[in-house]
Amino acid sequence: LNCVANARLLAEGPFRRVWIQPAAGDAGGALGAALLVWHQLLERPRLPQPSDAQQGSLLGPAYGNAAVRAALDAAGAVYQAAGSEEELLERTARLLSQGKVVGFFQGRMEFGPRALGCRSILGDPRDAGMQSRMNQKIKFRESFRPFAPVVLREHAAEYFDLPPQVESPYMLLTAQVSAAHRRPVDDGGRRGLELLALSRSDIPAVTHVDGSARLQTVDEERHGRLARLLRRFHALTGCPVLINTSFNVRGEPIVCSPEDALRCFFATDMDALAIEDFLLLRSEQPERLLARREEHLARFAPD
């Protein structure tokens, strides 16, 4: 999971492409044990895979509209049901383009430590103040903590110094923001955390102080609805990039169920929640649902 080391291996090693198992941690140990039994103990052959056998790492549970509606009704939430996916994505993309922060809960949960667009919090990377806002008002952590960009695969080489044949579907590579989208920086003698206030690119909320970003590339085959949302956001704004951070607060596991998502949404300053085919706006929620923030946050120790 060392994104910088992975990027150096790709750039400086003998390999044209590198694939990294996205749950390369404690969770991945279970997968390794299964592969050991399958290939070594049962002596099943190793066969080349023409595509990504990890299936986007979307291997967790899914909850359909019926389960989501039941959770919404049980909580007493105010929500709107979209008449179609097109309507849901249009409204979500417009909220993002207006500087709103949106929880995005769709389909199967990710396997591994990264939120890859199914249990995510999304924002507009063009907004220089978005990094601080999302850290302090939603993640409840230090304002300088970086966020990762999610970019349409076909535009990745346009925004980042990434070879055209390379993809990063699991957010496991760093790359420099491309020269075409960088901005000249005059630090004016600033030092330390003061440097964070300087915009270094057209997507400052996901650009680190050294001009790099830990990016995720998105395609229709693996990421479905997230890819279609990005295309709609791109059509509205001309930007094929969004902020993608895990749907949780500091110290909390990534949300899994609709009930988890609602608790986190009510306890933070997220502006909206797109959960399957339903859309919730924070401004429309009953005050009693928003009044239990401290109780929820107290359950999780800071990082």
Q: Does residue 33 register a pLDDT over 90?
A: yes
Q: Does residue 194 register a pLDDT over 70?
A: no
What average pLDDT score do residues 18-37 get? 86
Beta bridge partners of 152: 218
- Nearest residue to 243 via CA among 257, 230, 261, 224: 230
What average pLDDT score do residues 240-246 get? 96
Q: Does residue 195 register a pLDDT over 70?
A: no
Q: Does residue 300 register a pLDDT over 80?
A: no
Q: What is the pTM of this model?
A: 0.91
Phi-psi region of 133 (alpha: psi -120 to 50; beta: other; left: phi over 0): alpha
The answer to whether 159 and 177 are in contact (CB under 8 A) is: yes
Task: List C-alpha distances in Å: 173 to 28, 62, 149, 230.
Answer: 18, 27, 11, 20
What pLDDT does residue 199 have? 74
What pLDDT does residue 209 have? 85
Q: Does residue 278 register a pLDDT over 90?
A: yes
Residue type, 253: P
What pLDDT does residue 165 have? 83
- Nearest residue to 225 via CA among 68, 300, 118: 118
What pLDDT does residue 180 have? 92
The answer to whether 118 and 108 are in contact (CB under 8 A) is: yes
Please tell me the distance from the alpha carbon of residue 260 to that of residue 71, in angstroms, as a whole number: 10
Does residue 2 or residue 124 have the better pLDDT? Answer: 124
Please tell me the distance from the alpha carbon of residue 149 to that of residue 257, in angstroms, as a whole number: 24
Backbone φ and ψ for 69, nearest 5 degrees, come out as: -60, -40
Q: Going by C-beta distance under 8 Å and a sequence separation of 6 or more, which residues neighbour residue 203?
A: 125, 126, 149, 159, 177, 181, 213, 239, 241
What average pLDDT score do residues 192-214 get? 82
Mean pLDDT of the chain: 90
Q: Does residue 261 register a pLDDT over 80?
A: yes
What pLDDT does residue 231 have? 98
What average pLDDT score do residues 219-230 get? 94
Note every long-range contact of 193-196, with CB atoms under 8 Å and residues 24 or more positions apart, other chains counting.
193/144, 196/131, 196/143, 196/144
* % of the chain exceeding 70 in pLDDT: 96
What pLDDT does residue 196 have? 67
What pLDDT does residue 290 have? 84
Please tell me the distance from the alpha carbon of residue 293 to that of residue 82, in angstroms, as a whole number: 28
- Nearest residue to 151 via CA among 236, 243, 224: 243
| Assigned CATH topology for domain 58-183+191-297 | DHBP synthase (3.90.870)
Q: Does residue 170 register a pLDDT over 70?
A: yes
Q: How confident is the model at residue 257 (pLDDT cuts 50, 70, 90)?
A: very high
What pLDDT does residue 301 have? 64
Angle at 106 between CA 102 and CA 110, to 5 degrees: 105
What average pLDDT score do residues 46-70 get? 88
Please tell me the distance from the alpha carbon of residue 207 to that of residue 187, in angstroms, as a whole number: 15
Tell me which of 53-57, 257-261, 275-279 is least confident.
53-57
- What single-letter DSSP state applies at residue 183? -
Q: Computed from CA positions of residues 52, 58, 64, 68, in that sequence, does the dihedral angle turn out positive or negative?
A: negative
Beta bridge partners of 173: 215
Structure tokens at 214: 């830990």
Q: How confident is the model at residue 192 (pLDDT cuts 50, 70, 90)?
A: low
What pLDDT does residue 108 have? 95
Q: How confident is the model at residue 121 (pLDDT cuts 50, 70, 90)?
A: very high
